[in-house]
Amino acid sequence: MRLSGHSRGGRLPACLLAASAAVFAQPLVHEGGRWIQTVTGSVPAVSRLRIDCQGPVHLDAGTAGELTYTARLSVSARSEAEARQILARSVTRANSAGGWSVLSTGGGPIVADLNVQAPRLSAAEIATAEGAVEANGVDGLLTIQSGAGELKCDRIGGAVRLTTGGGDIQIGEVAGMLRATTGGGRITVKNARGEAVLETAGGDIEIVNAAGSVRADTAGGAIRVTNAGGPVTASTGGGPIVIGKAGGIVITRNMAGPVQVGGAPGVRSESGTGAIRLTNIGGAMRVSTAMGNIMASLLGGAAFSDSFLATGNGDITVLIPSNVGVTIRAQNDSADSQRRIVCDFPSVPVRMRGMQVVAEGAVNGGGPLLQITGTGGTIFIKRQP
């Protein structure tokens, strides 16, 4: 049924009014204790879109010649008459002004489930009081804010800013800078071509590929970055941190959990409890854990820098390739025998000094200082095969 100035009951309800748009409404129906009315409309196309509603939103850009929408309005009421009265106090507006298409719906006791098909968009802004939001195909800037609900986006050609009071965030392809924040939930990213900053008050963070720098912060959960083209900063209150490969320095802070880095030009890592495993490290290491083993493998041929490895309780193993020169200064406190330091290099003698076992000397002709400090465990200084 197409609506103009009047409906079958007389005057058109205010909730169905639209400026500069064709509007259609289906009859009111009763489903699961709520009264439902579905409204569809269209607005002449412009390149920027702003949506303000209360309820879930789904946006697909680049799929239509003009902006079309379907709003499923629902309200809890004791009768159809009461539902119509409530709906009449709400306003659904869709218009074009100032270079923006503006769509607003819902509010108060009315929840609007909104589905939008749009032409190509240079910018989109979506705000909802509550509900899940999904947006795909925006050519430029995308901003989404939800009071609570899951957020999703994919094929975004510009910067992205996502904020939800609570819910998972799923991100596909993003060409610009990425900011994602949730009050509690998991954050996953498939491919971010710019800088990525991800924060959750509790939940895992996972990034498959990031061309730029990455900053990931969770109050409790795992952090996994498969590949990053720039530096990585990762912090968690508890859970594993796994960085596959980074093009810049990796900085990790972990209150309780293991840390693993598969390749980086440098590492700074602090852990309350948990093992730290580093491979293919081509620069300075500043690594400490209160309790846990440390394993560090240096990258052959890299320009190594002064480094420090320390554990309060655990073993430390360092693997040194033949084309990396370093100067070793190792110390194991509270040691019960000289065997608490095991060294493959004759140029680094091991000896007892009171209750300490120490080893000092040059490896492969010497070079930057590698200081190793342990307590109670065993220090292994090995020749890398």
Give me the pLDDT at residue 27, please. 81
Residues of the chain with pLDDT under 70: 1-23, 90-91
Give me the pLDDT at residue 17, please. 38
Q: Point out which residues pair with 142 in neighbouring strands.
A: 124, 160
Instruction: Report the predicted TM-score, pTM, of the whole model to 2 decimal places.
Output: 0.90
> How many CB atoms within 10 Å of residue 47?
17
Q: Work out the angle at residue 329's Cα, subtended by the Cα atoms of residues 324 and 332, and round it to the nearest 5 degrees.
A: 125
Give me the pLDDT at residue 11, please. 34
Residue pair 214/207 in contact (Cβ under 8 Å)? The answer is yes
Give the containing element (helix H, strand E) for 199: strand 196-200
Locus of tokens 């204790």: 33
Give me the pLDDT at residue 366, please. 96
The string of pLDDT tens digits covering residues 44-64 is 778 999 999 999 999 999 998
The alpha carbon of 85 is separated from its chain's Cα centroid by a whole number of angstroms, namely: 43
The string of pLDDT tens digits covering residues 231-248 is 999 999 999 999 999 999
Phi-psi region of 381 (alpha: psi -120 to 50; beta: other; left: phi over 0): beta
**Got the DSSP string for 81-109?**
HHHHHHHHTS--EEEEETTEEEEEE-BTT
Give me the pLDDT at residue 45, please. 75
Give me the pLDDT at residue 85, please. 84
End-to-end CA distance of the chain: 78
Cα–Cα distances (Å) from 251 to 198, 217, 243, in that order, read 15, 12, 10
Cα–Cα distances (Å) from 175 to 54, 139, 211, 345, in that order, read 29, 9, 10, 49
Residue pair 133/60 in contact (Cβ under 8 Å)? The answer is no
Share of the chain above pLDDT 90, in %: 75
Give me the pLDDT at residue 159, please. 98
- CA–CA distance, 45 with 340 (Å, rounded to integer): 74
Residue pair 359/376 in contact (Cβ under 8 Å)? The answer is no
- CA–CA distance, 46 with 58 (Å, rounded to integer): 18
Give the containing element (helix H, strand E) for 380: strand 369-383
